[in-house]
């Protein structure tokens, strides 16, 4: 099976390529990027062929592509891949607007092309285990979620994450979609109302997008939820991010932490530039080192749990080989974009928005 990478813009692109390289009988035909300098460096790092244009890359007839570009380019690159007959694994959010996300899903359906949205938390063992217990009736009727997805201000080498045009927004765009997808998956129903507030108290001099937000949701079955989405972690925090939530049911409360399976390692020889990402061939180690004061004492998380990224990539490959829809679809990505767009509208209007 032949796979290709469309853009190296996203921080997850390195991990996804590492995942692909570990799967037997998968050939990575190469990478193309509208930023040639970035693309060539990525190709060199992973020993891939670099193509000067996306058309040249798609001319190699890959079975599928990974779209890991800036968010604003997802629609155009997806349509290019669809026109070439290549199946798609697209980084989240599926698009920066509902209109663009709908165009992707519609075009793929008409062309018979599979679209999978990159929601790796669907493959997190703690997240999956609690869902299984919920569906088996062990936890009782769900009542509400209290959720959090926090992280540091995106890395300086991925400055587009804080560009309102290229990213489509700030912390809300970056962090809400994962939790919306998990909640939809748990409940089997859709969000019908969104209320959101946001601010730029943190990093106000550095970026023009929101760095903190609180999004409240109401689902069709009456379950409600709150999502704390922010870039609030200090640069000395040992990890790049985190995702957790409390699920309140008629029988009690269960806490789910998708990144709890880690060891905290302290070292006096940690990298001196704060927030330096330690690159690995796979995403098994979510390893972010920082220094603490003049002592040079660094802390990092060594993730020992199962690798959700690897499981997600393997599901994409399996869906292509078995000619079936993936476990996470383009429609799932579209539904999350509905919520994000409604959240920004709610912020503008200062009131709840119905979907």
Q: For residue 212, how many C-alpha atoms fall within 13 Å in the half-sphere facing its CB?
A: 8
Residues in CB range of 31: below 8 A, 6 or more apart: 4, 5, 6, 7, 8, 39, 42, 43, 46, 48, 49, 50, 51, 57
Are residues 243 and 193 located together in one domain of the fold? yes
d(CA 15, CA 26): 16
73-107: pLDDT as tens digits: 999 999 999 999 999 999 999 999 999 999 999 99
Q: For residue 133, how many C-alpha atoms fall within 13 Å in the half-sphere facing its CB?
A: 15
d(CA 15, CA 3): 15
Q: Is pLDDT of 4 > 90?
A: yes
Are residues 223 and 325 located together in one domain of the fold? no
Q: Is there a domain that residue 334 lies in?
A: no
What is the residue range of 106's domain? 2-119+309-329
Are residues 249 and 181 located together in one domain of the fold? yes
Q: Is there a domain that residue 206 lies in?
A: yes
Q: Are strands 142-151 and 241-249 parallel, antiparallel or unpaired?
A: antiparallel
Q: Is there a domain that residue 22 lies in?
A: yes
Average pLDDT over residues 28-32: 97
Are residues 14 and 160 located together in one domain of the fold? no
Q: Based on the structure, what is the number of domains in the chain?
A: 2
Rg (CA), the chain: 20
270-283: pLDDT as tens digits: 443 333 333 333 33
Indicate the DSSP class of residue 314: H
149-180: pLDDT as tens digits: 988 888 777 899 999 999 999 999 999 999 99
Specify the CATH number for the domain of residue 112: 3.40.50.720
d(CA 66, CA 6): 6
How big, in percent rounded to 5, are the helix, strand and coil portions of the chain? 35, 25, 35
């Amino acid at each position: 099976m032949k796979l290709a990478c469309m853009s190296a813009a996203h921080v997850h692109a390195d991990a996804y390529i590492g995942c692909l390289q570990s799967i037997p009988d998968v050939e990575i035909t190469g990478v193309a990027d509208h930023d040639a300098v970035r693309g060539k460096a990525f190709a060199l790092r992973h020993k891939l062929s670099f193509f000067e244009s996306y058309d040249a890359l798609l001319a190699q007839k890959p079975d599928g592509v990974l779209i890991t570009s800036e968010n604003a380019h997802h629609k155009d690159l997806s349509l290019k891949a669809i026109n070439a007959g290549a199946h798609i694994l697209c980084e989240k959010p599926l698009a920066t607007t509902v209109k663009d996300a709908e165009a992707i899903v519609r075009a793929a359906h008409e062309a018979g092309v599979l679209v999978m949205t990159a929601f790796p938390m669907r493959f997190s063992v703690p997240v999956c285990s609690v869902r299984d217990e919920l569906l088996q009736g062990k936890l009782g009727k769900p009542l509400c979620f209290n959720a959090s997805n926090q992280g540091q201000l995106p890395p300086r080498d991925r400055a587009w994450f804080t560009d309102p045009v290229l990213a489509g927004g700030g912390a809300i765009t970056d962090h809400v979609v994962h939790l919306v997808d998990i909640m939809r998956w748990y409940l089997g129903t859709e969000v019908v109302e969104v209320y959101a507030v946001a601010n730029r108290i943190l990093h106000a001099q550095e970026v023009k997008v929101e760095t903190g937000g609180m999004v409240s949701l109401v689902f069709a079955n009456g379950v409600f939820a709150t999502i704390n989405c922010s870039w609030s972690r200090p640069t000395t925090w040992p990890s790049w991010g985190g995702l957790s939530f409390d699920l309140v049911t008629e029988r009690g409360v269960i806490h789910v932490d998708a990144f709890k399976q880690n060891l905290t390692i302290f070292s006096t020889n940690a990298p001196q530039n704060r927030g330096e990402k330690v690159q690995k061939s796979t995403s098994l180690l979510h390893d972010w080192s920082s220094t603490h004061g003049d002592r040079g004492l660094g802390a990092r998380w060594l993730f020992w749990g199962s690798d959700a990224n690897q499981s997600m990539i393997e599901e994409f490959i399996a869906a292509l080989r078995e000619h079936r829809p993936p476990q996470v679809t383009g429609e799932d990505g579209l539904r999350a974009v509905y919520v994000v767009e409604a959240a920004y509208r709610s912020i503008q209007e200062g009131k709840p928005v119905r979907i």
